[in-house]
Amino acid sequence: MDVERLESILTQYEGYPQDLIPILQDIQDQYHYLPKDELKVVAQRLNVPLTKVYSVATFYKMFSLIPKGRHQLRVCLGTTCHLKGGQRLLESVSSHLGIEPGYTTADMQFSLETVGCLGSCAQAPVMMVDDKYYARMTIDKVSKVLKLYKE
């Protein structure tokens, strides 16, 4: 456990139970997932049962209990994106990264997931890398986009 990093997050809050979600968001941003030991400390600091912390952490899709890559890739498979090539886009991204949706590359650089909608149906098919949208994606554009994020 990285005590200093966790303390820098926790000291930003008053320690009330209603701080749980913002604290979990900050931990997720820092660690790219919610480590078990850190969740135990959060439960103690907020004086809430660990089961409540886990119930919140597993309820919201934005949280992960398993390590995620440095960059989060989301490929939309909603109806419009699906009809405009979302599945082919997903297959291309998956092939370039060498992972299936729900997994992380061995170098911990990328995690890939599918989503039901990214809210940009008029620009389908759409994918996101971290917080940036890539609209009207084609399989020819995948390598160019991924190259922007590779180290």
The domains of the chain are located at: 3-59, 71-149
What count of Cα atoms within 13 Å lies in the side-chain half-sphere of residue 100? 0
In this prediction, residue 150 has a pLDDT band, given cuts at 50, 70 and 90, of confident
What digits encode the pLDDT tens for the residues 64-87? 998 889 999 999 999 999 999 999
Domain 3-59 belongs to what architecture?
A: Orthogonal Bundle (1.10)
Stated pTM of the model: 0.74
Per-residue DSSP letter, 122? G
Domain 71-149 has CATH 3.40.30.10: yes
Average pLDDT value over all residues in the chain? 94
pLDDT classification of 119: cutoffs 50, 70, 90: very high
Nearest to 104 by CA among 134, 129, 71: 71
